[in-house]
A and B are shown apart, each in its own frame.
Chain A
Amino acid sequence: EIVMTQSPATLSVSPGERATLSCRASQSVSSNLAWYQQKPGQAPRLLIYGASTRATGIPARFSGSGSGTEFTLTISSLQSEDFAVYSCQQHDNWPPKVTFGGGTKVEIK
């Protein structure tokens, strides 16, 4: 089973600053990597899929990069509404199982 490890667990950032979140896979997942944002009491929201493609309606300040085992989500200039938990997710090609990382909480510094 592929294990997804996110770091750091918590990231303290000031509004307007850049945030860089990491996600590492225990083995290559190619570009089968998505990022989600979740706020308290809400369902997750898809931000990025295919490692670097923004989902519909996602602002350009969110960008994803990486392939294989190392992935990064960058928020170029944090807005107040961006403080949330971010989770990465991979899927195997076969069998098509899905794994989430443990999440990174982005909090106000």
Chain B
Amino acid sequence: QVQLVESGGGVVQPGRSLRLSCVVSGFTFSSYGMHWVRQAPGKGLEWVAVIWYDGTNKYYADSVKGRFTISRDNSKNTLSLQMNSLRVEDTAVYYCAREIGRSNYADLGYWGQGTLVTVSS
């Protein structure tokens, strides 16, 4: 079955960096676009970034553009999110999510359990 498992969350000071990973199994990773979505405590969902199935295209929310970098290693079934210059407002549970099909952009049918990032001094 499809599984997505995030890791790498934790407590970090403002201005520092953190790298999240999402290891997937149960499907052909190289065939699907992947997204990061976050949710601040008690708040709604916020889309963070997307990477095309082959890594050729990447897009970011304005709130993280220039600070976060999404990447993937199709040989290791791993999606990553490098987060630099972290701010208090980046505190959230970060989910990786998979599209349901190649022609279903942003229809996120599979999600990990999330990893909590807390930015605090």
Contacts and interface: CB of A to CB of B under 8 A. Distances in A.
A6 B91 CA distance: 24
B65 to A, nearest CB: 10
Size bin of chain B's contact surface: 20 to 34
Size bin of chain A's contact surface: 20 to 34
Interface stretch (A10-18, A62-70, A75-83, A90-98): A90-98
Nearest to B93: A43
Nearest to A87: B45
Interface string B34-49: 0101000000111100
Contacts of A34: 106-108
Contacts of B95: 43-44
A46 B100 CA distance: 9
A51 B64 CA distance: 28
B104 A49 contact: yes
B113 A43 contact: yes
Contacts of B50: 96, 98
Interface of A: 1, 32, 34, 36, 38, 43-46, 49-50, 55-56, 87, 89, 91, 95-103
Given A87-B44, A100-B45, 13 more contacts: A34-B106, A36-B108, A43-B95, A43-B113, A44-B37, A44-B95, A49-B107, A55-B107, A91-B105, A91-B106, A97-B59, A98-B50, A98-B106
